[in-house]
Amino acid sequence: MKQSNFERKFSRYAISNLSLYLVIGYAIGYAIYYLFPDLYEYITFDPYLILHGQIWRIVTWVVTMPETLGLFTIIMLFFYYSVGNNLEYTWGKYRYNVYIFSGMLFTIIGAFLLYAILIIMCNTTGEYQTVLNAVGMSYSGGTITDMAVIYRGIGMGIGNFVSTYYINMSLFLAFAFVFPDMEMLLMFLIPIKIKWLAILDGLYFIYAIVQAFLPAYGGGVFGIYYKANALAAFISILNFIIFFLSSRNMKPYTPGQMKRKNDFKRKMRHAERPVNSYANGAKHRCAVCGRTELDDPNLEFRYCSKCNGNYEYCQDHLFTHTHVK
């Protein structure tokens, strides 16, 4: 797998076992929500408050609840943990980190873009009540005298919808792309290949996007809500598409292939190389002419892979010697 210059430079900063940290983060988020609900309000994504100094929300929203807590949610979190671990093992921690963090970055950009669009709508149409209703908020006052109140409400409303929900779903698409023929038990009973579930997952993404443009949904009072949901789905699927287009030359290794590859690397790291010591402290000597690096500093020495044993040759005899059998 060919590494890019960017990967060679920054791969050492990649986080190992990222899926584990994400699940732990979700657990912390759920605990804060149920034990300290007032504190939870300080970790959600809110474009208005971020722009007014609460920049920590750019990071802390990652641990907010992707779904309401329940038995199914717990099962799905363990499932995504397993999926993430397999992808990290297959892609390597750097590429897996890029996929997750680029999805988060696209989500942040999309949320700010939506916030800007809604602010412009309020300023140009004056339909502030419609906009607030669309993001689950309301204004009970009379004439608007302070637009900051409306902007704050829009920011809070957007924060209620920003989570890693669609990122996790796109993670399943990525897993199915790499392991299309792997089988799992649907409802713990029915064996089914991952690729068929991925097709359903993809159809759900398409439905979430198309729904925003249907008159019964996108044209109603809450049309903005469906368009926001469509934007979130589109951003996540866009992350999936961009990642795989940029990695189209990357072969999807199977777990067995990755195990053999890692075993080979480990053996090579621990392999004992012969330590040679010749007259006058020389480290290399040609098995044919007997010259060492002390005789000529410009000489280059290589071991022959076809000889039976550790035989070293200078560049003059590397390709002309008789192989030792």
Strand, helix or coil at 296?
A: coil
Does the pLDDT at position 268 exceed 80? no
Contacts of 283 (CB under 8 A, 6+ apart): 276, 277, 292, 293
Q: Are 240 and 248 in contact (CB under 8 A)?
A: no
Q: What confidence tens digit (pLDDT) does each residue in 154-212 have? A: 888 877 778 887 788 888 888 888 877 777 766 667 778 878 888 887 887 788 777 77
Across-strand partners of 292? 285
Would the pLDDT of 55 be above 90?
yes
The CA–CA distances, whole Å, from 74 to 24, 165, 175, 250, 321 equal 12, 14, 19, 33, 66
Give the predicted TM-score (pTM) of the model.
0.63
* pLDDT reported for residue 2: 53
Q: Count the Cβ atoms, other than its own, within 10 Å of residue 310.
A: 11
Q: Residues 51, 53, 56, CA angle at the centre, nearest 5°?
A: 100
C-beta separation of 114 from 158 below 8 A: yes
Q: How much is the mean pLDDT over the chain?
A: 78
Lowest mean pLDDT across 4-8, 52-56, 232-236: 4-8
Q: What pLDDT shows up at residue 169?
A: 80
More confident of the two residues 251 and 140: 140
Joined tokens for residue 216 = 């019964």
| 189-202: pLDDT as tens digits | 777 887 888 888 78
Nearest to 118 by CA among 58, 164, 158, 166: 158
Kindly give, in sequence order, each residue whose CB lies less than 8 Å from that of residue 117, ignoring residues fewer than 6 positions away.
none
Q: What DSSP designation does 281 have?
A: G
